[in-house]
Amino acid sequence: MRLVAILVVVLLTASACGSGSDTAAPASTTAVPATTTSTTEPTASSQATTTAPTTSAQAPTTTAVSTTTAVPTTTATPTTTAVPTTTATPTRATVVPPLTEYLPPTVPGGDTTFCQLLAIPAPLDTDVVRVGFPRPTKSAPAEGTVKYALVLVDFPDAPGRQDEIGPVHESVDLVSAYYHSISDGRLTITWVKSDEFVRVSQPSMSYDPTVGNPGGSNHPWGVLLSEEIIALADESMDFSDVFGVFFYTAAATPYEAAIGPGGWSMFSMMDHTIFSTDEGPLASAYGLTSSQRVRDEPWATWAHEIGHTLGLADFYVRPDPSSFGTDEYSPMGHWALMASQLGATKSMGAWNRWLLGWLTPQQVYCAPPVPLSNAEVTLQPLVRSGDGYKAVIIPINDHKAVVAESRRSEGVDVNMGGEGGVLVYTVDTSIGHMQGTQKVQLPDGRDPGRQSYGAWPDALLAVGDRLTVEGTTIEVLQTGDYDRIRFSKAALAETTTTTTTTTTTTLPPATETAGVQDGTFATCGSFLTPNDAQTWFDANPDFGESVDGNGDGTACGDGDFGGATDCGGRAPVLVLPQFCDQYQT
């Protein structure tokens, strides 16, 4: 029983949220006091602007234009006159009148269940995060109220200051405001906040999160420290109905402390047995890193981690220190909370909102599976409330789709800059956590122009811009209160025989997985074959129990959690259970 409990602990990532980003940003240039940040982040006031009926406030000049001029859209739609599609010329804004009216699509959307692309391979019950449907059922609920706890922690050598407490409390309130905004009020996050620091027993540099953890070997998870903190906090805090706990370490904590640069990783466990309190178990624990960059806006990192508790995966590629800051590392740039919480845009993109149930079928235009030519759809900006489609999802096959959504520099994206536009990206549900599942698409010749931790405004399509991806061409016809796009697409690709090949080609090559360094966690679900798992296990014995729960020296073997199986007699050889779907009865 105990082993099982240990094995189902899934490390979501240390770097995610923390160390990878931390290393790139000079602290001095980004030392924005949290209180300053809070004025532009999703506070209650900025949220009000988000949810306000922005159509009236948004277009002071266009309201002067009588709507009748906008209504005859036939003048705007013939691209021959309005849209010089070959180039994105600066004249476009003067040629095309602002779009002030929500126009219905020229082709009715298809069945939105086609756009609920399934996770491939079929997800395991133990998956904590997923890219495709269905959302993990044991995650925190995405609707209603979810309670988290904030615990303030300091050390004998790094005492907390009283004046730290107020801003930290404000920062977790920002998390609540953020989720209220992006979920359109569906998710309410409440907090139990400690109002004093709990002091742990050892100096900050004495905690080595690589030793003394459950299972008796070396997890970089800080489990012992977490247990100590929770026990201390439990004396005075009420953890009733708390899903997960977040630790704030005193600002004086040295960056070099073992618990520092990467923070704790998120622990997330499916059976809620690791951390117990007087009031019941906790499903997750996360310690904020002590890097200045993260401390500048701690709410954003907490919001990202809460995204994991909701079952969302990281969009960046499995940490490889050499690739930090590159497109290869971050194919989604800073365009989504789960890609990077530290960039100028903080939105949760339409795909994840769809996955979480925060976009209704009425808000998703799901392209029908037939070929389409010059279909037009109007998009309501993602950041605003109001009726209308907030996403166009164009399935390419059973596991890949092109997504278009409208972005504006307001609300949670207020620091984005620019005039907004249409963001196009691909989603691949056969690629998982930390494997680059979402990828921003750029028009030909577009210079990403991305700045470290800055926006990537050039990625947005403006009027006249077009791009082609996966046989789908998307162009922007008109902008204003809404964005009007036109797209053409081929038929849905045949996928009847691709399951096996897809699985084989999209998972990381065995050599990569086998070569991951200590500090990266793997489970049997990370590998293509038991042999690959064994290779990795041999190279990374410190992580042994994650693949060799029964301690017999064989990784992902019979008796190991997620270990090899004959799939109930269907498979001719022993395979990892995530591949059982390939073998029909």
Site residues, Zn ion (CB under 5 A):
16-17, 314
Task: Identify which of residues 246 and 482 has a Cβ nearer to Zn ion in the complex.
Answer: 246
Contacting residues for 445 by C-beta, under 8 A, at least 6 apart: none
Q: 264 pairs with which residues across the strands?
A: none
* Cβ 204 vs Cβ 257: under 8 Å: yes
Contacting residues for 45 by C-beta, under 8 A, at least 6 apart: none
Closest CA to 488 of 363, 582, 389, 402: 402
* Cβ 9 vs Cβ 268: under 8 Å: yes
Q: How far is the CB of 463 from Zn ion (least distance, A)?
A: 35
172: number of Cβ within 10 Å: 23
Task: Identify which of residues 311 and 420 has a Cβ nearer to Zn ion in the complex.
Answer: 311
Q: How far is the CB of 16 from Zn ion (least distance, A)?
A: 3
**Residue number of the CB atom closest to Zn ion:** 16
Task: Identify which of residues 314 and 413 has a Cβ nearer to Zn ion in the complex.
Answer: 314
Closest CA to 332 of 310, 360, 352: 352
Task: Identify which of residues 366 and 431 has a Cβ nearer to Zn ion in the complex.
Answer: 431
DSSP-derived 3-state class of residue 444: coil
Amino acid type, 575: V
CA distance to 107, 120, 348, 429, 584, per residue, from 397 (Å): 20, 12, 24, 10, 21
Q: How far is the CB of 304 from Zn ion (least distance, A)?
A: 5
Q: How far is the CB of 375 from Zn ion (least distance, A)?
A: 35
Task: Identify which of residues 275 and 286 has a Cβ nearer to Zn ion in the complex.
Answer: 286
Using a 10 angstrom Cβ sphere, with 0-12 exposed, 13-18 middle and 19 or more buried, the burial of residue 364 is buried
Measure the CA angle with vertex 421, ends 418 and 425; round to 5°.
Answer: 120
Radius of gyration of the chain (CA): 24
- State the pairing for strand pair 472-479/466-469: antiparallel
E strand or H helix at 180: helix 162-182
d(CA 555, CA 333) in angstroms, rounded, equals 35
Name residue, tokens 């972005």.
407
Q: Cα–chain-centroid distance for residue 351?
A: 10
d(CA 492, CA 111) in angstroms, rounded, equals 13
Crossing angle of helices 162-182 and 44-51, in 10° steps, is: 10
Task: Identify which of residues 303 and 414 has a Cβ nearer to Zn ion in the complex.
Answer: 303
Name residue, tokens 């207020």.
414
Task: Identify which of residues 136 and 443 has a Cβ nearer to Zn ion in the complex.
Answer: 136
Q: How far is the CB of 67 from Zn ion (least distance, A)?
A: 45
Task: Identify which of residues 317 and 394 has a Cβ nearer to Zn ion in the complex.
Answer: 317
Task: Identify which of residues 314 and 545 has a Cβ nearer to Zn ion in the complex.
Answer: 314
DSSP-derived 3-state class of residue 297: coil
Which string of DSSP letters, residue by residue, matches 505-538? Answer: HHSPPHHHHHTPPTT----GGG-SSHHHHHHHHH
Q: How far is the CB of 430 from Zn ion (least distance, A)?
A: 20
| 168's tokens | 């930290």
* Cβ 118 vs Cβ 131: under 8 Å: no
Q: How far is the CB of 160 from Zn ion (least distance, A)?
A: 26
Task: Identify which of residues 16 and 485 has a Cβ nearer to Zn ion in the complex.
Answer: 16
* Cβ 366 vs Cβ 461: under 8 Å: no
DSSP-derived 3-state class of residue 483: strand
Q: How far is the CB of 521 from Zn ion (least distance, A)?
A: 13
Q: How far is the CB of 142 from Zn ion (least distance, A)?
A: 17
Task: Identify which of residues 268 and 472 has a Cβ nearer to Zn ion in the complex.
Answer: 268
d(CA 575, CA 562) in angstroms, rounded, equals 10
Q: Can the peptide bond before residue 98 be classed as cis, meaning omega within 30 degrees of 0?
A: no
Q: How far is the CB of 324 from Zn ion (least distance, A)?
A: 14
Using a 10 angstrom Cβ sphere, with 0-12 exposed, 13-18 middle and 19 or more buried, the burial of residue 572 is exposed
Task: Identify which of residues 17 and 223 has a Cβ nearer to Zn ion in the complex.
Answer: 17
Task: Identify which of residues 282 and 339 has a Cβ nearer to Zn ion in the complex.
Answer: 339
Q: How far is the CB of 223 from Zn ion (least distance, A)?
A: 19
Q: How far is the CB of 330 from Zn ion (least distance, A)?
A: 12
Q: How far is the CB of 115 from Zn ion (least distance, A)?
A: 25
* Cβ 458 vs Cβ 448: under 8 Å: yes
Amino acid type, 108: P
Q: How far is the CB of 274 from Zn ion (least distance, A)?
A: 19
Task: Identify which of residues 16 and 533 has a Cβ nearer to Zn ion in the complex.
Answer: 16
